[in-house]
Amino acid sequence: MRRVVCPGSFDPITNGHLDIIGRSARLYDEVTVAVLINVEKSSLFTVDERIEILQTVTKEYPNVKVRKFHGLLVDFCRQNDIPAIVKGIRVVSDFDYELQMAQLNYRLSGVETLFMPTNPEYSFLSSSRVKEIARYGGDVSGLVPDLVHKLLIERLRG
Ligand code: PNS
């Protein structure tokens, strides 16, 4: 069984994330989407809401499962017998940051990190930008799954 993890905050999931998850699901037998529980960071959606959203929008991939984790990602990998992490790279500055994280994670545990270039259609996309645009009434359709679009409007514009 070839397993991989796609970790993140997913607050909320964007079409960029979904593209990486879908492409990983075609390459691996099992993809675990791992949602970080971060008590220090305020979020728009709770971890359980994010999990429910992720489960809905990844329904078409039978080999994708969604879990939450806290602490170190490599501990989650070890506990779940997952030997590799997939990270999407949008721009060179992502690589700078992710390379250090990948090397540290490997040093800590031997867990590998694989970089997947983001679809250029989404290279400018991030959850924070999406929230900012939606908060000020901008149109985020096409940037996030339809369900997320609907929930963002409900949550941010009352
Ligand atoms: O979507 P994000 O917020 O950019 O995802 C970041 C995430 C969750 C992948 C990263 O913060 C993470 O792995 N956090 C868990 C703590 C950890 O393992 N840190 C690495 C120490 S080298």
Give the pLDDT confidence of 59-91 residue by residue, as tens digits.
Answer: 999 999 999 999 999 999 999 999 999 999 999
Catalytic-residue membership of 17: yes
Q: Where are the domains of the chain?
A: 3-123
Q: Check if the beta carbon of residue 6 is closer than 8 Å to that of residue 99.
A: no
pLDDT at 156: 86
Query: What's the CATH architecture for 3-123?
Result: 3-Layer(aba) Sandwich (3.40)
CA atoms within 13 A on the CB side of 149: 10
Catalytic-residue membership of 41: yes
Among residues 17, 23, 50, 149, which one is catalytic? 17
Using a 6 Å cutoff on CB, does residue 73 contact ligand 1?
A: yes
Q: Check if the beta carbon of residue 38 is closer than 8 Å to that of residue 56.
A: no
SS3 label, residue 155: helix
Tell me how far apart the alpha carbons of residues 140 and 98 are, in angstroms, rounded to a whole number: 26
> pTM of the full predicted structure?
0.97
For residue 48, the Cα-to-chain-centroid distance in whole angstroms is 14
Q: Work out which ligand 1 atom sits closest to the CA atom of 108.
A: 22
Above pLDDT 70, what percent of the chain? 99
- Which residues are registered as beta bridge partners of 65? 32
Q: Check if the beta carbon of residue 109 is closer than 8 Å to that of residue 131.
A: no
